[in-house]
Amino acid sequence: MNGRDPGCTMRTVKEMTGIGINHFMMVDFNAVKTLSAAVGGVEVCLTKPIRDMNYSKLDLSAGEHRIQGEQALAFLRNRHGLGNQSDLDRIKMQQQFLASMMRQLKEDTLDSPTQLLSVANAATEALTVDKGIGSALKLTSLAKEIGKVDLKNISFMTVPVIDNPDEPPARRATVVLDPVKAPQVFGMIQNDVSFTEVKKKQQDAKNAQAQAQAKLLQGPGPRPPTCASTSTTAAASRGRPGDPALAPERAGRAPLDQQEQRPREGGEDHAHLRTEPGRSGPQARGPDGPARHGSPAGHAGRRGARAHDARPRRRLQGRGVPVTGPAKAPDVEKVEADKQVCAK
């Protein structure tokens, strides 16, 4: 097919999202029939009946059904009788099918070694996978690892899209990536940020904000005692409370928090940094003299102290790729594996 193989798809996904793909599974029509039968059928739900005899051949009444084989394939191929009958509606049905299969595997299959091996053998015959996971043993191991994940933390999501702006408004038939939401989704995946965990953090932040507001309404508490000046505190922490260079109040100057700030020449209030011989680190100089905050003597280099950032650094992934995931989960449609959703 002119190079249109799984490798081409993996490269395309990486180019569009910046996310590297380690393994792949390719499911064709026969795989759907084989796997749905291997697990004993998959439960699906419809809010209204669907009878599509011209295309998918799906004929199901409203309510819950357990489907497999040809009927399961018709369910996944159908897009008529749903929403605006688009491919996006078909994707929703497929996500509901996969979420239901995930629930069934976790609740019925993964606890039975015999049934799990049977499903793994069926998968190796029905699926096209890369060599890294291309055996029943490796697929069984992968299934066990997935089984350790709580269903509440498994969701199926469609990449956020918008109508193609290059097409006439009355004849738009394609979509493009949402320029705002899609990068947020990719950033969360790149940084291993769970969509369900982000929701939990958002709720925790709301609770913390509510507690802070409630505390403010209670009024201020007793005022804490006044602390010594920064210089005195620094001197005491070093065990040299008598050092006049670190305690300006002992040398006839007021503590830092009591010194009057007067404008320098030019009418601007500011402080400049300097390094004195024998001492490292910057020292703020105010209008009444230096306030020494440097590190103890003996640590100064010829070029003075240099600030050091001890925070771990993350390797940049590329131009335009966020270093960290978004603090807020984007509002995108998804199907959560722990909930049964009926197709509309």
Flag whether pLDDT at 271 surpasses 70. Answer: no
Flag whether pLDDT at 52 surpasses 80. Answer: yes
Strands 58-60 vs 50-52: parallel, antiparallel or unpaired: antiparallel
Flag whether pLDDT at 331 surpasses 50. Answer: yes
36-45, 185-194, 232-241, 306-315, range with greatest mean pLDDT: 36-45
Flag whether pLDDT at 175 surpasses 90. Answer: yes
Flag whether pLDDT at 300 surpasses 90. Answer: no
Q: Is the dihedral of CA 27, 30, 36, 38 positive or negative?
A: negative
Higher per-residue confidence, 129 vs 326: 129
- The C-alpha R_g of the chain, in whole angstroms, comes to 32
Contact 256/231 with Cβ under 8 angstroms? yes
| 3-state secondary structure (DSSP) of residue 208 | helix
Q: What pTM does this model have? A: 0.60
Flag whether pLDDT at 53 surpasses 80. Answer: yes
Residues 6+ apart with CB under 8 A from 80: 50, 52, 54, 55, 56
Residues 6+ apart with CB under 8 A from 317: 18, 190
Flag whether pLDDT at 75 surpasses 90. Answer: yes
Neighbours of 246 (CB within 10 A): 24
Task: Give the pLDDT score at 246.
Answer: 46
Share of the chain above pLDDT 70, in %: 65
Question: Which element (helix H / strand E) includes 202?
Answer: helix 195-217
The DSSP secondary structure of 299-319, one letter per residue, reads ---TT-------SPP----ST
Count of alpha carbons within 13 angstroms of residue 245, beta-carbon side: 13
Flag whether pLDDT at 310 surpasses 50. Answer: no
Flag whether pLDDT at 34 surpasses 60. Answer: yes
Task: Give the pLDDT score at 6.
Answer: 87
Flag whether pLDDT at 231 surpasses 70. Answer: no
Mean pLDDT of the chain, nearest integer: 75
Mean pLDDT value of segment 270-292: 47
Task: Give the pLDDT score at 154.
Answer: 87
Flag whether pLDDT at 14 surpasses 90. Answer: yes
